[in-house]
Amino acid sequence: MAFYYDSPSHTFNEYLLVPGYSSAECIPDNVSLKTAVSRYRAGETPALTMNIPLVSAVMQSVSDDKMGVALAKEGGIAFLFGSQSIESQAEMVRRVKRHKAGFVSSESNVRPDQTVADVLVLKEKTGHSTVAVTHDGTASGKFLGLVTSWDYRPSRMDPSTPVSEFMTPLEDLIHAKEGVTLKEANDIIWSNKLNALPVLDKKGRLLSFVFRKDYDRHKANPQELLDTDKSYIVGAGVNTIDYKERIPALVEAGVDVLCIDSSEGYTEWQKLVLDFVRETYGDDVKIGAGNVVDRDGFRFLAEAGADFIKVGIGGGAICITREAKGIGRGQATAVIEVAKARDQYFKETGIYVPICSDGGIVHDHHVTLALAMGADFCMLGRYFARFDESPGRRVTVNGSYMKEYWGEGSNRARNWERYDSGGDKKLTFEEGVDSYVPYAGSLADNVALTLAKMRSTMCNCGALTVAELQEKARLTLVSSVSIVEGGAHDVVLKDQTGQN
């Protein structure tokens, strides 16, 4: 006979945190959001940690190399999407790893035979006033010179004037050679009163720039997540189909952590992937698994050797798995049960396996709720898809800026590997949609606001760390009427798009 759960499953929106005692030391500046990413034994230090409990989803519309760099700068990890060729995903990893902190790949490049008009179009597109001139107009071509706003005046120049006639040539520029450290590069910038310092390899090809404006930015951003070589830490998604070829390529490219990307993780397919990693690399390669929604699924993957376990099925904004298949569970209930199973496993074995809440996040405070319920970090898709750094196009819909956002189970992504159950190699039916999300601007500004809210809420609960929040948090279910009461009500709101 089928098993029936005694109570309905709940979402984050049905819970509130009840304030606790806050000491004088409990202020947002004292809150640490550092969290473990990989399993570890009691008394040991995790091999991999993050400075903030946020990772980006393994999705075409969310996580590419640009997102990898941007999120690592804030202290989190992006998991580069796996629904692409092995070669292109490995190259994405390499691009993130080559992007040393403070060393920026050139995004604005022209050939010497291009014109003032081309420079203006490029400036409008990228917003950058510094343009590299290379022999082929690429970011890695032979460096010939530089164009800045000081080099041309559009109102007094013929739009067809070639770049070669007004650029500052290489021989008149100060540059650095491959291998220069960030400290040395900054010393050159300040000693010579430069705004930008090109870094070239032995053949004269452009490698990167170091900008004066980034100096204060890096000093003011101590949360950057770096490896021992001062490269950004990055993750990547893998599937249960071509993992024997994909994983070695990603490891060779320098990936820091992997994640099995699947709609359902309580399967033998995931164990086979974990077995391959452990037999091939031992504990040197870190890999998460999932998704699961109960204690049995957690236990299975923990015993199979997963470094972290993702929790959640059907709760994502673009996911229609519950609608299409009738499979899933309310995200809050799933996190609560899996967290209890994680704590029981730790008590029995002395091994702590971090859990990642994946899906169901609508408001910023839902992240704090997920942590309070036992999650170690959260994976977000819709949240990150809204930002400049996501791969989706920015478009105008009904007069408002939007970003494209599509699910891996949609016809657009056609990521059949994520939903494969051993049948035909195709997406039989959709488990995701193609949509838009409101454009929100830069990742850094929005993440800073989210983290500020989280730190403030943690202080209200008397907690200065994630572990302390999980220990001290008190949560209450709320009624539908109480949810309405929690927002603005019984007033006429002023027009927030104009002047109040």
Residue 478's alpha-carbon distances to 116, 250, 314, 328, 471, in angstroms, are 61, 45, 22, 22, 21
What gap in Å lies between CA 162 and CA 160, rounded to an integer?
A: 6
- Which tens digit of pLDDT belongs to each residue from 99-116? 766 788 888 999 999 999
The structure's pTM equals 0.81
Average predicted confidence (pLDDT) for the chain: 90
Confidence of residue 427 (pLDDT cuts 50, 70, 90): low
Q: Give yes or no for residue 213 having a pLDDT over 70.
A: yes
Confidence of residue 291 (pLDDT cuts 50, 70, 90): very high
Q: 222, 305, 286, 374: which is closest to 47 by C-alpha?
A: 286
Instruction: Name the β-bridge partners of 378.
Output: 54, 357
Catalytic residues: 319, 418
The residues, ordered by sequence, that sit 6+ positions from 276 with a Cβ below 8 Å of its Cβ are 243, 244, 247
The residue ranking higher by pLDDT, 407 or 275, is 275
Give the pLDDT of residue 500: 37
- Which tens digit of pLDDT belongs to each residue from 434-462? 889 999 999 999 999 999 999 999 999 99
- Which tens digit of pLDDT belongs to each residue from 456-495? 999 999 999 999 999 999 999 998 877 777 777 778 878 6
Pick from 127-136, 220-229, 305-314: least confident: 220-229
Q: Give yes or no for residue 132 having a pLDDT over 80.
A: yes
What 3-state DSSP class applies to 10?
coil
The residue ranking higher by pLDDT, 269 or 426, is 269
Helices (H), 282-320: 295-304
Task: Check if the beta carbon of residue 381 is closer than 8 Å to that of residue 317.
Answer: yes
Burial of 70 (0-12, 13-18, 19+ CB in 10 A): buried
Average of per-residue pLDDT across 47-54: 98
Give the pLDDT of residue 67: 97
- Which tens digit of pLDDT belongs to each residue from 305-359? 999 999 999 888 777 777 777 788 999 999 999 999 999 999 999 999 999 999 9
Establish whether the linkage from the previous residue to 192 is cis, with ω within 30° of 0. Answer: no
Decide the pairing of beta strands 287-292 and 309-311. Answer: parallel
Average of per-residue pLDDT across 11-25: 95
